[in-house]
Structure formats: structure tokens, C-alpha cells
């Protein structure tokens, strides 16, 4: 519907962005209708407030019932549909605005035009949804998401804000954006209590207690009421403690220094910051109260709170060009809220400035807090099936109600008595404790994971881990060690490689050595050089000294840079000898002592490492130097990237051959380039990065060895033995990744690795087409020599049928081309791809999403900030971090290796099976009690107060509570546990157990009637008829049945340990079972008060009582055989498969795998193929 003032609703939902909500969600305006409210509110309060309770549960429906649609500009409420398709009601707020022309103009610069006051209205209308503001736009007649500087602004435009805001503009923006705070309210115990008791679970339980009390079950209703109140109080304490922890984590107040009114510096409270404020970041650092784009200077930041990675990160100013600014894409230039700025530096004691770009819940930290407050709904079929089962039980209860009323009317009971008994059977058929019982397995699994140093902030994902079919691993720091062993450097000179130099400190002073000493983001914190482990290893190998800015560093044009210099006397190569051997690839530089203690290098400007660009660079000035305008640029990065940036004449002809030989050995290789700039410093400061990092002279290669972690290979083997697919997703070189994959066992030694490469259409050729090709890695042969498959190719290819399994390897560039130009090839790539190299952070997240679209349950394990997107996207993201609860992913392991992955999967399987077991136990328990009550109703009888207490509170509550203590099985098996309660196997199991239970109870009743001493029970009209032989026999038989189904459903292997390892469960059985035997076998003259309380009539025959025990044993044996020996058999599985009519797999990836044959990938080893 079009969004105009004359319309009531708008439906122009745009795709969700990094804020997790659409810019313009579907929205409908409403106002309260006076006559509807006068009519419905009294009606809602009449039947015990049931109507108000429904209004509390269904606010959207109540809004539609009591209100009427109206144009959005006059609406007081808005019904909108969120990103998950769920409708909610939000209250419209109005704020009086001064409407000054200056404020409106400045605000238009601050945000997208459609997000603010397009018409300079005197009244600002907005509503808040998930702590984000939606502002009414008069021109479009709709509410749109309020924006700041995260979209629609260039870096150049942000630089123009350096003078600060005027006080008037600040006041206007404060009204529009609200305070810079993240208020997570900690509700009072009274408010939490009201919310808790109004939950449908507790409402149903309280109604049940009321019915039991009216039905004169005083003791039972009192006990249930006490336990319910105790449960509510425990839940209140836990909920309030959680809210308090979250509140304390996000609450932050400080005083900050800002520039206002044309460079006037003043101190203001941190919560008064608005987008556009210019913030002064002190040299000693601070905790950032907002997201801010760095304008001047550099900052060393600890971002572990956001990423879980404790390595300090260097932030540099945003470029002053027309590049679009986005906090996510420009994260190396953005100071994020909640992170700790350790230190800053700039020109001679000048201020480091940053422009506030996002405040409050709009910040990166705010986004993570919102993801905790409003987690992404996980549609697991198990919980949906549980709801369906409850509805089925409600239908059964309805049948029981009809049966009860009929029986009691036949026996001429009063209407009140008939209604109470009918309502009572509803509470029996639908167990009120069922929702709580389903969470038992998850709670115990979380406790066991915590003991193994694995922490979880999203408990609902534990059961999802039980269905994991594929695990993606980052390489560096995850599969391999963080630290690197530097094997040496291979210098290049005159377009040729020299021999490997194992000790870089022996290099002659020159571009390669200087690059290793300067091209990094290291800093000194508390006298210790800190930074990325790779850069630490590279710099320490030079044996140079890093000196942070000090009072004596004023020789660099008043710039205070980081300075590096060598020791006073070092061993350097003999220059003449090196030149004479420059043309040889086998020459080894000779050494000789030369004093170069006076050389110092100042790092004047730094372009930090970018995962997308796969490189970093620095501008360096050397002293002493005869030319003050001479600057040196050093660039290091991926060899393929540096190769493209270097002058062809400086690149050795055997570049890729040498690179291939190194990477095939699993070595990590970086390339180094150098160029000279001759210009004033202020001009160099304004150069764009692309203009700096070009026309380089190739200097050489850095060769490092990244060893596997001890736990990597056995963990990969464990997962593959369990038929869990493993995939490597890394930013490293493809050949290095392939070697590591073979080394850790991800790729079997006898399997082939096929490299899928792709090329885009040439920009100069209008008729060119993107193409893909395949080549064999590790065997030196091209599988498709000269073969190019273009977008328009439909010609068949003669192929060579390969008998050996293969794995696809692809880099990020080819992955992007395949997704864009060859979408029909993407499913095959996803099901056969094992190595994904040179992948950017966004591509990692996209890969996880693509795998999920094929039906894979995906886990992702990584250690760095580059993996955050994929960690959040996966069903189970596991971050290897020192933090206990990194909000970068659902799971965090303090043990920094991948051994946590099978532990999480085992616990997930255990929790899922436990949830199934407890659910089936609770379902069969309710049906056992339902059948018992239904049979007794036939005799106008029922269980008495203390019998219900013994069954529900002693047997059921204790068993359901301790069943979840059983731990996971130590071994992972290939078969995954079922994920649905509606599966034929589960339903058939329940039906057989229920049928067996009914037969046992009816058989016990006929066994009683066959006894010579049996006297038929004659009900009395003025009594509850609770004491009789039928009651006693059915009560005792049912007690054994509860124990039997608990044992039968406490399955052990292959997902859980045997039940006898659950000591609490065994102890519970050892207490309950002897007591049941005592109630059955002991004479009625013992403990007379006990028989009186339970209302038991002990049969006079000991042989009959022993027969009841034998019947219980027979029931257990048959139930056990059904569950353990019949249902798991092959013929039964075949029968069940036929019953559920399963002909083809449901998961899409299985269809793709089944469709693959020897024609893909196209392979021809004997002759050349040409495809037009």
C-alpha cells in the first residue's frame, strides 16, 4: 500500500542491514476507539479478567479490537511487522522542536534526508522498535529508520565537521537521536513477579491448583502451589541477576571533551553526545562511549570486548576523499563504543580528534546488546512438534472431559461434581510441568560445558549443536598456532631471487630489511612491544629496536612517529659481494661488521592491514638523509596481491614457481614491495591509498612456518569418522591452505584436490564472458588444459572418469565470480568444496549462509575478528577466546584449540536426546495417570490427595529432574539423533508404549477380579469413593509403570552414557523402587497411618501381591524389548520408512550429491579440449 498521508499503512520493507531491521517496515496506523474501549474493557474484566489476560498475551489483536485504522500522521499506535514476520505494537511519541533553519539544515547533513525532519516540522513524531528510532517523514507519509553517518556520507564530508556543532544544532539532534546511553532496565521483583505469573504455563498451573482445591485436594494443591511459588522466586532471582549483569555490562557514564561552537573545547557528559560531535581523544586513552570516525592522529585500541581478540589494533584517520564512509567497511578508521583506547599520538602534542558517527544502541556494542535482548528466533522442529503434541494432549483431554461427564451423569452425580472431575482430567492429560522439563537437558549441558571452559550466551543453540553436519574452520590461530616460526627471507634483486637467508638480521640495510622493521602495527604498551603475533615475529627477527614517541623525536618535521633503529653495531652483508652476485639465484651474501648505529626510520603514515585488500603499507622517513622530501613506501601482503602492484621488471620470472614450492610445503609466505616518493610531507599525507600502493619494486619473500596445534589432527579425524564434514575457510594462500588440509587429515593423502579458478569478463572486451577452469593441485597436471567454460557454453565435454575422490579448492575471487556469474554451479561447489582460501570476512559469512541454504546444519570455529560475521551466521559459532563470554559468538572456548568442537557437538546431541527422553517420559506419564483416572472414573472413584502427591511430586518430579544428569557418550557416531517429535520412529515408540501400558492396567484389573476374595466395589453417593481395591491395584501398577518408562527412555549409547553412570538417577530409583515394593508386598498392618493416608486396601493374598510385581516386571521387559531390540532393527526401520513414505532426501545437499557424476568437474588428462 502506498505510503501517503491518506493511507493507513505502508508496506515498503527494504532489506535488513547491519542494524538488523529494515529501513521502512510494513506499518499501519491506529488510534483507540472510544466506543470500542467502553464496550470491550468492561467485558474483558467480567469473566475473572480472562479478556485482559488475552489482551496481555495478544497485544496486536487487542489493538485491532479496541482501535481503528487511521493515517500514520495522526496515529497514536503503529502496528509493524518486524524482520522475522512477527507483528508488534509500538507507541508513537511526539517531541516539540524549535524548528530553527540552522538546526534543520545541520540535521539534514547528519542523517539521510528521509530519516529526519524533511519539512522542518515543529513536532517530531517517532516510535522506538528494539531500541531503534523510526522517524515520521512528512514527504513520504511513513516512518523510516533514523540514520546517522553510517550510510550516505563520504569521508570528505565527515572531515568537514572538524569545527564541531553549534549549541543549537546539538540541542536539536539530542531531541532527534536521544541520549547516548544504553539503558537495559532492571525491573523490580514486583514487576517480574507479575510478568512471570501471567505466563501461560503458570496461569494454567494456578487454574489447576484452584480446581484441585475446590475438589478438596487440599494437601496436593498446597504442595503444588508451594513448589510453583518456589519456582517463580528462583526464576525471578535468576532473571533479575541476568538483567543486572547485562545492565552493568552496558551501563557506562563518563565525562568527555568535545569541540563545540567553532573549536571551543568543553567537557560534557558522555550521554549528551550526538552524531556530528567532535570528540577529543586523550593521549592516555579512554573507554569509547560511542562509535567515532578518527579524523586526526592514530590510536591503539583493545577491541577484545567486541571481537574476543586481545591483540591491540592500530586505528588511523579516515581518508579525506570521496570514499563512502561505512563503519563496518572502514573499521580500521573507526573507534567503536565500549572498546578501550590504550593510547593516541599525533603531531607535536596536537589533539587527536574523532567525529561521533553512532550513539546508544546504534553503535557496534549496542548492536550486540540488542542481539542478546532480541535474539534471532531459532525454528527448531523439536519445539514446534512439542507444541503440536500439547495440542494433541488437549484433544485427548477434551475426549476425557466428554467421557467423565457421561460417566458421572450415568452414576447420577451432581453437576458440580461432574464438572470438577471433568476439569480435573484436563490437568492430568496436559502436564503443566512439560515446558520446564524440556529445558532440563540444556541446563545440564551448559553446566558441563562450563566446567570444560566452554561458555554459551545463547542456550537455545545447544540443541541445534546436536544436528551439526558440517564444521567450518579458520586456519591461522584455529587449526594452526598463533605464533609463527620465521624460516627466513628470500631477497630479490635485479629481477631474480637470491638464496634463502635464515637470519634476517644478517641482511644488508635496504628495502627488505627496512620493510620488516617498519611495515607493521606494533606498539609499546607498558614497555612491552605488542601486536599481531606474525608482525612480532617478523620485527623481532631483525633485532631492531622500536621506540615510541618521546621528547627527542622532533627531527621529523614536527611529527612524532614511531621510530625504529638497529643496534649500534650489527653484522651486515658485504655490499660489493652482494652486487657481484645479484644476478645469481644461488648466491649467498657474505657478512662483515659495519657500524650503522646512526640510522633511524620514522613511520610517518600507516595504511593498516585490510582483509579485503590483503595488504598493509607504511610511509617511512630515514635520518640522516640528504633529501628532506624523500619518503619510502613499504608494502607487505599476500604474494598474489603484491605481484599485481609491482613493476613487472622487478618480479623474478620464476615467482609463481618459487611461491608454489613454498606453499605446497605448508609454509606461509608474504611478499614485500617498495617505492620512493619525492614530495613534501603534507602532500604525501593527503595521498589516497591506491595512489601510494602502486608501481612498487619487488623486494622479496618472507617465509614462515605455521605449525598445527596438537589437538587439530585428532579432532579432524574424530569429526570425519563421525561423518561430519569439515571445511577450511581462511584468508591465507590457497596452496598453503591445501597443504595444511592434507597435513591435518582434512584431505586424505589419496584424494585429489582440484583448484577451481574463475576469471571475470575483460573490461575492454564488450563480448567477453566470465569463465572457469579446473586444475589439479599437488600432481603438476592440468585437469582441463586449455579448457575454458564460459557462461554461454552448453557443449558437452568428453571426460575422463576419475575413480579417486576429489575435493574442490577455490579462492575468494573465484568464489565471488561463481556466485555472481555461475549460480547454477554454486551447489556443486558447496557440496564438494573443502578449501576456501583468500576469503574476506563477508565472504566467510556468505559461505556459511550458502551452506545453510542447502540444508546443512553448520558450525563455525574461529579465533579472530575476521570470523565474527561467520560465527554469528552459523547455527553454532565457537570463538577461541580468553574471554569467558565473548559476545562475538554464541559459544566461547577458553581452551584455544578446536578440541572444543566435538565437545559441543557431543553435548548438543546429549541435550537433544535428553529433551526427547524427558518429553516422552512426561507424555507417557500423563497418559498413564490419565488412563488410571479414567478407569477409576468408571467406578466413580479417583486417586486421593496423597496418592497424587506421591506420584507427581515424589516419583515424577524427582525422576524428571535427575534424568538430565546423564552425560554425553565419549564417542561421536555417524548417525545424528532425530530432530523432530513428529517422526514416525518417535510416534510409533510412544504408541507402542501407551498400548502396552493400557494392556497392563486393564490386565491388572482383570487379575484382581479373578481372585476368589474379590468383592465388587459399590460407590456411595455421599462419598468421594477413594478407598477400594481397584484404586489400590491401579495405583501400585501405575507406580511401577512410571519407573519402567523412565528406565526405558533413559537410553545410553550412542549419544549418552549408560544410565547407571547417572548416580543421582540411580539413587532416585534405589529410593523409590524399594518403597513401591513395600507398598505392594508389605502387610496392611505395618505403618497403618501410611495406608490410611494413601487410602490403600491391601489385598489379603501375598501371592496376588507378588503377581502384581511379576506383572510390573513383565511390563518392563516388554517395554525394554520394544525400545531396544525391536524399534532399532533394520526391518523395523524399513517398515517405518515405508510408513512415512520417504522416497527422496529432504535436505537439498543430498540431492546435489546424488546428481553428481563423473562428468563434473570436467576432466581430460589425455588431450586438450576447446569449448567455444
Which one from 82, 107, 474, 811 is the annotated catalytic residue? 474
Residue 736: which residues within 8 A CB-CB, separation 6 or more? 663, 666, 667, 668, 669, 706, 837
Cα distances (angstroms) measured from residue 463 to each of 851, 854, 914: 19, 20, 10
Q: What is the dihedral of CA 448, 450, 452, 455, to 10 degrees?
A: 130
Pairing state between β 9-10 and 340-345: unpaired
Q: How many CA atoms lie within 13 A of 391 on its CB side?
A: 7
If we measure between CA atoms, which residue out of 1066, 1096, 1058 comes closest to residue 1078? 1096
| Cβ neighbours around 189 below 10 Å, total | 12
474 noted as active-site residue: yes
Q: For residue 265, what is the enclosing H or E element?
A: strand 264-269
Exposure of 107 in the CB half-sphere (CA atoms within 13 A): 31
Residue 253 neighbours by CB distance under 10 Å: 9
* CA-closest candidate to residue 20, choices 248, 489, 362: 362
CA max distance for the chain: 122
SS3 assignment, position 491: strand
Inter-residue contact 196 to 235 (CB < 8 Å)? yes
For residues 269 and 255, what is the distance between their CA atoms, to the nearest angstrom? 5
Residue 95 to residues 113, 127, 180, Cα–Cα distance (Å): 19, 11, 17
Angle at which helix 50-57 crosses helix 59-66, to 10 degrees, equals 110
Cα 1091 to Cα 553, 810, 1081, 1084, 1094, distances in angstroms:
95, 76, 13, 7, 5
Name the strand (E) or helix (H) holding 529. strand 528-530
The crossing angle, in degrees rounded to 10, of helices 900-938 and 984-1009 is: 30
Asked if 499 and 490 touch (Cβ cutoff 8 Å), the reply is: yes
Stated length of the chain: 1172
Burial of 190 (0-12, 13-18, 19+ CB in 10 A): exposed
Residue 358, strand partner residues = 291
| Coil, helix or strand at residue 57 | helix
Angstrom distance (rounded) from CA 870 to CA 472 = 9
Q: List the one residue out of 642, 653, 701, 652 whose CA is nearest residue 675.
A: 642
State the Cα–Cα distance between residues 305 and 312, nearest whole angstrom.
12
Question: Which residues are known to be catalytic?
Answer: 474
Amino acid at each position: 500500500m502506498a505510503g501517503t498521508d491518506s493511507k493507513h499503512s505502508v508496506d515498503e520493507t527494504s532489506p535488513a542491514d547491519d542494524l538488523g531491521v529494515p529501513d521502512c517496515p510494513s506499518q499501519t496506523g491506529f488510534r483507540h476507539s472510544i466506543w470500542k474501549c467502553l464496550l470491550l474493557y468492561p467485558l474483558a474484566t467480567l469473566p475473572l479478567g480472562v479478556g485482559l489476560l488475552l489482551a496481555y498475551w495478544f497485544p496486536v489483536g487487542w489493538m485491532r479490537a479496541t482501535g481503528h485504522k487511521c493515517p500514520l500522521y495522526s496515529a497514536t499506535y503503529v502496528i509493524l511487522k518486524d524482520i522475522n514476520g512477527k507483528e508488534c505494537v509500538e507507541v508513537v511519541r511526539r517531541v516539540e522542536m524549535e524548528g530553527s533553519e540552522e538546526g534543520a539544515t545541520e540535521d539534514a547533513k547528519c542523517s539521510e534526508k528521509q530519516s529526519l525532519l524533511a519539512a522542518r516540522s515543529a513536532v517530531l513524531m517517532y516510535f522506538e522498535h528494539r531500541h531503534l528510532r523510526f522517524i515520521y517523514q512528512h514527504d513520504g507519509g511513513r516512518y523510516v529508520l533514523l540514520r546517522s553517518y553510517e550510510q550516505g556520507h563520504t569521508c570528505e564530508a565527515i572531515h568537514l565537521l572538524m569545527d564541531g556543532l553549534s549549541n543549537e544544532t546539538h540541542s536539536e539532534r539530542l531531541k532527534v537521536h536521544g541520549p547516548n546511553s544504553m539503558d537495559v532496565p532492571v525491573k523490580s521483583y514486583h514487576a517480574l513477579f507479575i510478568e512471570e505469573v501471567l505466563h501461560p504455563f503458570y496461569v494454567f498451573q494456578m487454574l489447576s491448583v484452584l480446581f484441585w482445591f475446590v475438589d478438596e485436594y487440599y494437601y496436593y494443591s498446597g504442595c503444588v502451589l508451594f513448589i510453583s511459588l518456589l519456582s517463580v522466586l528462583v526464576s525471578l532471582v535468576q532473571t533479575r541477576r541476568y538483567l543486572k549483569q547485562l545492565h552493568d555490562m552496558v551501563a557506562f557514564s563518563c565525562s568527555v571533551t568535545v569541540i563545540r561552537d567553532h573549536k571551543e573545547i568543553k567537557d560534557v557528559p558522555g550521554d549528551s553526545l550526538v552524531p556530528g560531535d567532535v570528540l577529543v581523544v586523550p593521549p592516555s586513552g579512554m573507554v569509547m562511549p560511542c562509535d567515532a570516525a578518527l579524523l586526526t592522529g592514530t590510536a591503539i585500541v583493545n577491541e577484545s570486548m567486541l571481537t574476543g581478540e586481545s591483540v591491540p589494533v592500530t586505528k588511523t584517520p579516515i581518508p579525506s576523499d570521496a570514499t563512502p564512509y561505512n563503519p563496518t567497511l572502514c573499521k580500521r578508521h573507526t573507534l567503536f563504543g565500549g572498546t578501550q583506547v590504550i593510547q593516541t599520538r599525533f603531531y607535536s602534542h596536537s589533539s587527536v580528534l574523532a567525529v561521533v558517527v553512532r550513539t546508544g544502541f546504534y553503535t557496534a556494542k549496542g548492536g550486540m546488546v540488542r542481539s542478546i535482548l532480541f535474539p534471532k528466533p531459532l525454528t527448531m522442529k523439536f519445539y514446534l512438534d512439542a507444541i503440536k503434541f500439547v495440542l494433541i494432549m488437549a484433544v485427548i483431554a477434551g475426549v476425557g472431559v466428554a467421557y467423565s461427564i457421561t460417566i458421572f451423569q450415568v452414576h447420577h452425580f451432581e453437576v458440580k461434581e461432574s464438572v470438577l472431575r471433568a476439569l480435573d482430567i484436563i490437568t492430568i492429560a496436559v502436564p503443566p510441568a512439560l515446558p520446564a522439563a524440556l529445558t532440563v537437558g540444556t541446563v545440564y549441558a551448559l553446566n558441563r560445558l562450563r566446567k570444560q571452559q566452554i561458555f554459551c550466551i545463547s542456550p537455545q543453540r545447544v540443541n541445534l549443536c546436536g544436528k551439526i553436519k558440517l564444521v567450518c574452520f579458520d586456519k591461522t590461530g584455529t587449526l594452526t598456532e598463533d605464533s609463527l616460526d620465521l624460516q627466513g627471507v628470500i631477497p630479490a634483486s635485479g629481477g631474480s631471487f637470491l638464496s634463502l637467508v635464515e637470519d634476517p638480521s644478517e641482511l644488508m640495510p635496504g628495502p627488505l630489511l627496512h620493510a620488516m622493521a617498519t611495515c607493521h602495527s606494533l606498539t609499546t604498551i607498558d614497555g612491552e612491544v605488542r601486536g599481531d603475533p606474525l608482525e612480532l615475529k617478523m620485527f623481532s627477527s631483525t633485532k631492531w629496536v622500536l621506540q615510541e614517541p618521546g621528547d627527542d623525536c622532533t627531527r621529523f618535521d614536527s611529527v612524532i612517529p614511531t621510530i625504529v633503529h638497529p643496534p649500534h653495531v650489527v653484522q651486515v652483508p658485504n655490499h660489493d659481494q652482494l652486487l657481484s652476485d645479484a644476478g645469481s639465484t644461488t648466491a649467498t651474501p657474505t657478512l662483515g661488521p659495519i657500524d650503522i648505529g646512526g640510522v633511524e626510520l620514522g613511520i610517518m603514515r600507516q595504511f593498516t592491514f585490510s582483509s579485503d585488500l590483503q595488504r598493509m603499507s607504511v610511509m617511512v622517513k630515514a635520518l640522516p638523509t640528504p633529501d628532506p622530501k624523500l619518503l619510502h613506501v613499504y608494502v607487505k601482503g599476500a604474494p598474489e596481491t603484491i605481484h599485481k602492484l609491482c613493476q613487472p621488471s622487478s618480479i623474478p620470472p620464476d615467482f609463481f614457481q618459487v611461491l608454489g614450492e613454498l606453499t605446497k610445503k605448508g609454509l606461509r609466505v608474504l611478499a614485500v614491495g617498495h617505492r620512493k616518493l619525492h614530495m613534501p610531507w603534507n602532500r604525501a599525507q593527503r595521498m589516497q591509498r591506491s595512489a601510494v600502493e602502486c608501481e612498487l619494486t619487488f623486494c622479496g619473500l618472507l617465509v614462515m612456518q605455521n605449525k598445527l596445534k596438537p589437538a587439530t589432527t585428532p579432532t579432524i579425524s574424530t569429526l570425519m569418522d563421525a561423518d561430519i564434514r569439515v571445511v577450511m575457510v581462511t584468508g591465507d594462500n590457497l596452496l598453503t591452505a591445501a597443504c595444511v588440509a592434507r597435513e591435518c587429515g582434512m584431505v586424505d593423502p589419496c584424494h585429489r584436490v582440484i583448484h577451481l579458478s574463475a576469471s571475470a569478463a575483460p573490461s575492454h572486451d564488450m563480448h567477453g564472458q566470465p569463465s572457469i577452469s579446473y586444475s589439479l593441485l599437488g600432481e603438476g597436471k592440468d585437469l582441463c588444459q586449455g579448457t575454458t567454460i564460459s557462461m554461454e557454453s552448453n557443449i558437452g565435454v568428453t571426460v575422463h572418469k576419475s575413480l579417486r575422490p576429489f575435493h574442490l579448492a577455490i579462492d575468494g575471487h573465484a568464489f565471488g565470480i561463481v556466485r555472481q556469474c555461475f549460480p547454477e554451479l554454486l551447489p556443486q561447489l558447496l557440496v564438494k568444496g573443502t578449501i576456501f582460501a583468500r576469503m574476506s570476512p563477508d565472504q566467510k559469512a556468505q559461505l556459511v549462509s550458502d551452506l545453510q541454504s542447502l540444508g546443512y546444519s553448520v558450525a563455525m570455529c574461529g579465533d579472530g575478528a575476521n570470523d565474527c560475521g561467520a560465527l554469528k551466521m552459523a547455527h553454532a559459532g565457537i570463538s577461541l577466546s580468553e574471554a569467558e563470554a565473548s559476545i562475538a559468538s554464541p559459544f566461547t572456548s577458553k581452551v584455544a584449540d578446536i578440541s572444543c568442537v566435538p565437545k559441543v557437538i557431543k553435548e548438543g546431541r546429549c541435550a537433544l536426546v535428553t529433551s526427547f527422553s524427558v518429553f516422552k517420559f512426561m507424555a507417557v506419564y500423563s497418559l498413564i495417570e490419565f488412563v488410571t483416572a479414567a478407569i477409576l472414573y468408571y467406578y466413580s472413584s479417583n486417586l486421593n490427595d496423597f496418592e497424587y502427591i506421591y506420584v507427581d511430586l515424589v516419583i515424577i518430579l524427582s525422576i524428571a529432574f535427575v534424568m538430565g544428569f546423564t552425560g554425553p557418550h565419549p564417542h561421536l557416531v555417524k548417525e545424528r539423533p532425530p530432530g523432530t517429535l513428529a517422526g514416525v520412529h518417535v510416534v510409533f515408540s510412544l504408541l507402542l508404549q501407551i498400548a502396552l501400558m493400557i494392556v497392563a492396567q486393564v490386565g491388572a484389573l482383570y487379575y484382581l477380579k479373578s481372585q476368589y476374595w474379590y468383592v465388587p466395589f459399590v460407590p456411595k453417593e455421599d462419598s468421594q469413593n477413594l478407598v477400594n481395591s481397584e484404586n489400590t491395584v491401579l495405583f501400585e501398577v501405575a507406580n511401577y509403570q512410571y519407573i519402567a518408562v523412565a528406565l526405558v527412555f533413559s537410553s545410553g549409547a550412542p549419544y549418552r552414557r549408560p544410565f547407571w553412570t547417572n548416580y543421582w538417577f540411580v539413587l532416585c530409583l534405589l529410593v523409590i523402587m524399594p518403597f513401591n515394593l513395600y507398598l505392594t508386598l508389605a502387610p496392611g498392618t505395618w505403618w497403618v497411618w501410611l495406608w490410611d493416608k494413601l487410602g490403600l486396601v491391601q489385598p489379603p493374598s501375598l501371592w496376588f501381591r507378588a503377581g502384581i510385581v511379576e506383572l510390573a516386571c513383565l511390563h518392563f521387559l516388554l517395554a525394554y524389548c520394544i525400545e531396544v531390540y525391536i524399534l532399532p532393527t533394520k526391518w523395523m526401520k524399513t517398515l517405518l520408512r515405508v510408513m512415512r513414505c520417504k522416497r527422496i532426501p529432504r535436505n537439498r545437499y543430498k540431492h546435489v550429491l546424488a546428481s553428481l557424476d563423473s562428468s563434473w568437474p570436467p576432466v581430460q588428462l589425455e588431450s586438450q579440449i576447446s569449448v567455444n
